[in-house]
Amino acid sequence: MLHLKSNYYLKLLLCSFVFLTGFKSLHAQVFSEGFDQATKATATGNELRGLENLFGMEVQFKPMRMIAVSTTNPKTGKKERKLVWYLLYRCVNRPLNREKLSSSDSPVNQRDKNPESIFSPSFVLITTDGNAPLKYPDEVLPEAVEQINKREGRKYLNTVDVIQTVPKPTTVKDIRNDAIYGVVTWTDIDPETDNFTVLMSGFTNAYQIMKTPDGKKESVEKLLKQDFWRPGDEFEEEETEIRRKGSPEWLYPGDLIGLKSK
């Protein structure tokens, strides 16, 4: 009888293991959804000490893509066929490691009650070919986003509609991840572009006090940077030609434009 019970519990344990393993695998597949690159949420000790309500996002990306759509020209009101470059992202607010702080450390900027942080991202695409880089701020293109969502099979929000209160932090083990799905769009990118960078802000509220070349102090926000290259030509623009150079990188504007840290 004991032997039968042992076999029963052994089978039950085995079935439970198979079920849980399959569930985890399914959850991983659903969560990936084609997002093939990610950067973790990180914070330095100085950033943790500097802001009590500091938040940091884990940001995941799909490859840069293109879609041809008819959009309305806001000046003429007429429809125009445009090639839209777009970048899909998913971000999740992750708990930051405050173990870096000693028991005597406390954030410099404390309030009786911290206001809710707002997620309001912005993006700029910068071509890096030659000596005259071109800057393309993200564009809000509802007609293009509608077609992108049909193509991608999910609702992605543009950089205006995505603005919201930062969700509560969730760990990677949580089934509830409160992920935010967004899309960034650009048009009229120089077709001869071979190398470009996308700078992203709003995925953390970390900041740093920098000194400008003229000695003034300036508060600057932490950015996320991703480099790309496109080994094609200007005659046949294809999304498959766009490739990433390296991984996303957290940095401050001073790392780009020569400002010196305080």
- Between β-strands 122-127 and 195-201, what pairing exists: parallel, antiparallel or unpaired? antiparallel
Residues 109 and 133 in one domain: yes
User: What's CA 205's distance to the chain center, in Å?
Assistant: 14
Q: What is the residue range of 26's domain?
A: 1-32
Answering whether pTM is above 0.75, one says yes
Q: Mean of the pLDDT values across residues 95-117?
A: 63
pLDDT number for residue 261: 37
Residues 148 and 20 in one domain: no
Q: Mean of the pLDDT values across residues 135-149?
A: 96
Residues 120 and 196 in one domain: yes
Beta carbons within 10 angstroms of residue 20's beta carbon: 10
Does residue 85 surpass a pLDDT of 90?
yes
Does residue 132 or residue 90 have the better pLDDT? Answer: 90
What would the pLDDT profile of 212-251 be if each residue is shown by its tens digit?
A: 788 888 889 999 999 999 886 665 677 788 999 999 999 9
Residues 64 and 167 in one domain: yes
Does residue 30 surpass a pLDDT of 50?
no
Residues 105 and 177 in one domain: yes
Instruction: Give the whole-angstrom CA distance, residue 193 versus residue 228.
Output: 10
Residues 1 and 50 in one domain: no
- Residue 40 near residue 58 (C-beta atoms within 8 A): yes
Residues 60 and 184 in one domain: yes
Residues 21 and 141 in one domain: no
Residues 85 and 172 in one domain: yes
Residues 45 and 102 in one domain: yes
Phi, psi of 37 (to 5 degrees): -145, 140
Q: Mean of the pLDDT values across residues 143-160?
A: 97
Residues 25 and 149 in one domain: no
